[in-house]
Structure formats: structure tokens, C-alpha cells
Amino acid sequence: MKSYNVQALRGAEYDDHDFQRDMREMDVYIPDGLLYTPHINRFVTDEMYKQNMAGLTSVQNPNTGNNFTQKEAEEHAGELRSSANRMHESLM
């Protein structure tokens, strides 16, 4: 079975079960049905987007010197997700 996590796509010996276990430590719970499918990375980036949205409003925005507003958090988290998705696609 082919692993589709980013490290495996880059050539590392790192299967999707290992990736699933490691992502649990980051509070990302990948369903078994996504293992060994190209959809695994999109799921992870969507989950990281949610975490970023929740956490960014308590972090200082380097552009303003104030904490990220909800709108700024949405924009920044969206940019991070889009960038990660483009990178995943380029590895496929």
C-alpha cells in the first residue's frame, strides 16, 4: 500500500499508520479510512486550519503588534492551508 503523508511523498520510510499516530500527539485524529489515500493530507491541513483559527487570536500579529483579530486569523490560517495544499499537490 502506498503512503500519502508528506514525508512518504518526499521519499521517507514513514507509513500512514506512523503518521496517524504522530498526528494524534498534535490533537489531529486521522480516521482509518483516510490512511493510504491521497485525501489524508487535505484532512490534516483542514484540521490544522481549525487549530490555527482557534489559537491565532491569542497570538500577536507581527504586522499590527496586537493579537490577531478573528478576521486576520481566518485570513492567515487560510493562507497557511492553501500553501500546504499546493505543496501536497506538487508532491503528488
pLDDT tens for 26-36 read: 999 999 999 99
Question: The whole model's pTM is what?
Answer: 0.83
In Å, how far from its chain's centre is CA 8?
A: 15
Residue 10 C-alpha cell reads as: 518526499
Q: Give the pLDDT of residue 91.
A: 75
Q: What angle do CA 51, 53, 59 make, to 5 degrees?
A: 100
Quickly list DSSP for 32-85: GGGTTSTTHHHHHHHHHHHHHHHHHTTSB-TTTSSBPPHHHHHHHHHHHHHHHH
Q: Give the pLDDT of residue 24.
A: 95
CA 18 to CA 5: how far, in whole Å? 10
